[in-house]
């Protein structure tokens, strides 16, 4: 009798003539029996066998699901054996992850895009959303697009060159798939993660439900090129995959991972808007590694890349960046990310350095123990803005500027829009309005001044005006100030308090 490996190869070879795209099977057959394979069987006329998972019997034969190899997530191994039941009678679906467990290399990764038509009611995405996903993927030359097994959904494939990508186990293969998904997101600005049903997992290349009528697994768009390891982010193994926090030189990774998980539980997941996407696209064009992490809905990049955007006048104008951003890092290793950025409302990001206690620029929030953080593309508070602009504190409140343009830049940084008056240059005072949502600008009246200045009020020997600002909360307003958090499995996380527009852990 043929072995399991032989049975699978013989079965697939027999399907070549009737498959909607034989090239897909040819690719699989090329790497067999080294591929990670999943065989699902149907119950057919059999009955479940007590004590044996996914095993059925008709009184003569027993048949069961097959997964090759064993221990795929650690040290893969497989002992081939004779298959004493007919695979062609009981197989329901055969698929692969694209991981070559014998050579320990990834040959491809696949993504299953859910379809509401092909799944139960209330599950999946609409046809309109599916079309958006397809159009976004069509812009990527390294993505192959196929119909799903039932013909209503989509399958994406990304292939690697002949040498493949070294991956020691299925866990690393799945991390590679998440890195590819991040590349797709960064390249297009489209949030594939919200639409992908499987990430680097098993993809059916043959299934009973595919037919000539539904065109299941038929090719929609071929790939134009394959990827090499050089096309991937240099640090893709050190990113933040599920269950593993990327840390540098920290002896207690488990403790830090727990701290990171607790931090993530305090985030309000903000959908990416056009401003977020424009910033990400600009970062991708820089020489710094920039990866979208769909598992945690956050961006990984380098603080120097963010400062370069903030410091460049043309980029600031094009992206309409608000606030300032400073870092002490020089960016000598652009291929390595050193921060993760959590989306906030109105195009902003809360930026965290890897590893709690990391020292940073004085403008960051830090105490040497907790997470060091700041904001990007968020209006700076007035005190911080005027201090950086070199203003002088006034004894009666506010800050004095010698030049109009310096006051204008500080107000713009702090989220306001101030146009200097067309009069003789003189010291100008900027202070908070009593409502803490606007600014008050004042300057002394001079004899050469006109009787009226548009937008200004003249009284008691000075001109004054109110400047409106965008100083509303940059995150969803909470229903309360303090929350006690518990995970779905009833593990206590602790207390958090809403401070400076974000949730902060409390004792």
Split into its structural domains, the chain has a count of 3
Beta-strand pair 392-393/373-376: unpaired
Q: Is the dihedral of CA 194, 125, 190, 319 positive or negative?
A: negative
Note whether 261 and 226 are same-domain residues.
no
Q: Count how many Cα atoms sit within 13 Å of the Cα of residue 338 in the half-sphere of its side chain.
A: 20
Spatial neighbors of 86 by CB under 8 A, at least 6 apart, are: 61
Residue 496 lies in a domain: no
Give, for 197, the enclosing helix (H) or strand (E). Answer: strand 196-199
Q: pTM of the entire structure? A: 0.52
Contact between residue 37 and residue 116 where contact means Cβ atoms under 8 Å apart: no
User: Which pair of tokens denotes residue 495?
Assistant: 């207390």
354-359 average pLDDT score: 82
Domain that holds residue 353: 252-378
Spatial neighbors of 129 by CB under 8 A, at least 6 apart, are: 195
267-284 average pLDDT score: 87
Note whether 289 and 330 are same-domain residues.
yes
Note whether 218 and 336 are same-domain residues.
no
Note whether 216 and 339 are same-domain residues.
no
Residue 421 lies in a domain: yes
Of 362, 378, 394, which residue is a domain's last?
Answer: 378
Neighbour count for residue 468 (Cβ, 10 Å): 13
Note whether 159 and 181 are same-domain residues.
yes
Of 325, 356, 378, which residue is a domain's last?
Answer: 378
Note whether 93 and 118 are same-domain residues.
yes
Residue 390 lies in a domain: yes
**Which pLDDT belongs to residue 345?**
83
**Which pLDDT belongs to residue 395?**
78
Query: Cα separation of 247 and 231, whole Å?
Result: 23
Of 326, 343, 378, which residue is a domain's last?
Answer: 378
Residue 164 lies in a domain: yes
Q: Between the CA of residue 214 and those of 147, 198, 247, what are the distances in Å?
A: 9, 21, 47
Note whether 158 and 205 are same-domain residues.
yes
CATH number at residue 72: 3.90.920
Residue 475 lies in a domain: no
Neighbour count for residue 289 (Cβ, 10 Å): 23
Note whether 370 and 386 are same-domain residues.
no
Lowest mean pLDDT among 22-36, 156-170, 308-322: 308-322
Which among 130, 178, 121 has a CA at the least distance from the CA of 154?
130
- State pLDDT tens for residues 141-176: 999 999 999 888 899 999 999 999 999 988 889 888
Contact between residue 95 and residue 15 where contact means Cβ atoms under 8 Å apart: no
Note whether 69 and 150 are same-domain residues.
yes
Q: Would you call 307 helix, strand, or coil by DSSP?
A: helix
Residue 294 lies in a domain: yes
Note whether 335 and 453 are same-domain residues.
no
User: Which pair of tokens denotes residue 418?
Assistant: 């101030």
**Which pLDDT belongs to residue 122?**
43
Query: Cα separation of 238 and 295, whole Å?
Result: 14
Note whether 67 and 162 are same-domain residues.
yes
Note whether 288 and 343 are same-domain residues.
yes
193 pLDDT above the threshold of 80:
no
Confidence of residue 293 (pLDDT cuts 50, 70, 90): confident
Residue 239 lies in a domain: no
> Between 215 and 487, whose confidence is greater?
215
């Amino acid at each position: 009798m043929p072995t399991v490996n032989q049975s699978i190869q013989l079965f697939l070879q027999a399907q070549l003539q009737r498959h909607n795209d034989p090239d897909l099977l040819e690719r699989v057959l090329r790497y067999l029996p080294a591929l990670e394979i999943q065989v699902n069987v149907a119950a057919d006329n059999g009955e479940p066998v007590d004590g044996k998972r996914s095993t059925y019997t008709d009184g003569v034969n027993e048949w069961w699901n097959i997964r090759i190899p064993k221990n795929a997530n650690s040290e893969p191994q497989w002992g081939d054996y004779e298959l004493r039941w007919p695979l062609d009678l009981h197989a329901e679906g055969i698929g692969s992850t694209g991981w070559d467990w014998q050579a320990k290399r990834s040959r491809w990764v696949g993504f299953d895009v859910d379809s509401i038509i092909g799944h139960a009611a209330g599950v999946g995405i609409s046809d309109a959303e599916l079309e958006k996903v397809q159009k976004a993927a069509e812009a990527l030359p390294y993505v192959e697009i196929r119909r799903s097994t039932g013909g209503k959904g989509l399958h994406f494939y990304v292939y690697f060159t002949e040498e493949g990508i070294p991956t020691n186990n299925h866990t690393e293969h799945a991390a590679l798939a998440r890195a590819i998904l991040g590349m797709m997101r960064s390249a297009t600005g489209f949030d594939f993660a919200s639409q992908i049903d499987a990430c680097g997992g098993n993809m059916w290349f043959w299934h009973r439900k595919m037919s000539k009528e539904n065109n299941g697994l038929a090719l929609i768009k071929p790939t134009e090129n394959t990827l090499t390891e050089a096309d991937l982010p240099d640090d893709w193994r050190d990113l933040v995959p599920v269950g593993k926090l990327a840390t540098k030189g920290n002896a207690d990774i488990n403790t830090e991972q727990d701290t990171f998980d607790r931090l993530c539980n305090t985030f309000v997941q903000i959908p990416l808007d056009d401003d977020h996407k424009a910033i990400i696209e600009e970062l991708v064009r820089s020489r710094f590694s920039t990866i979208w992490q769909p598992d945690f809905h956050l961006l990984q990049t380098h603080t120097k890349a963010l400062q370069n955007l903030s410091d460049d006048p043309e980029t600031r104008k094009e992206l309409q960046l608000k606030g300032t951003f400073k870092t002490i890092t020089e960016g000598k290793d652009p291929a390595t990310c050193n921060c993760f950025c959590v989306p906030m409302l109105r195009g902003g990001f809360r930026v965290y350095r890897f590893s709690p206690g990391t020292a940073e620029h004085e403008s960051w929030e830090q105490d040497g123990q907790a997470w060091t953080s700041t904001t990007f593309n968020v209006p700076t508070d007035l005190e911080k803005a005027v201090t950086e602009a070199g203003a002088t504190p006034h004894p009666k409140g506010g800050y004095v500027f010698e030049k109009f343009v310096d006051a204008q830049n500080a107000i713009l940084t702090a989220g306001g829009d101030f146009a200097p008056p067309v009069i003789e240059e003189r010291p100008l005072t900027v202070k908070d309005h009593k409502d803490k949502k606007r600014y008050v600008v004042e300057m002394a009246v001079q004899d050469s001044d006109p009787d009226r200045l548009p937008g200004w009020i003249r009284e008691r020997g000075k001109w004054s005006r109110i400047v409106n600002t965008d100083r509303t909360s940059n995150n969803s307003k909470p229903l309360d100030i303090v929350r006690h958090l518990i995970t779905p499995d009833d593990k206590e996380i602790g207390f958090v308090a809403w401070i400076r527009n974000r949730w902060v852990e409390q004792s």
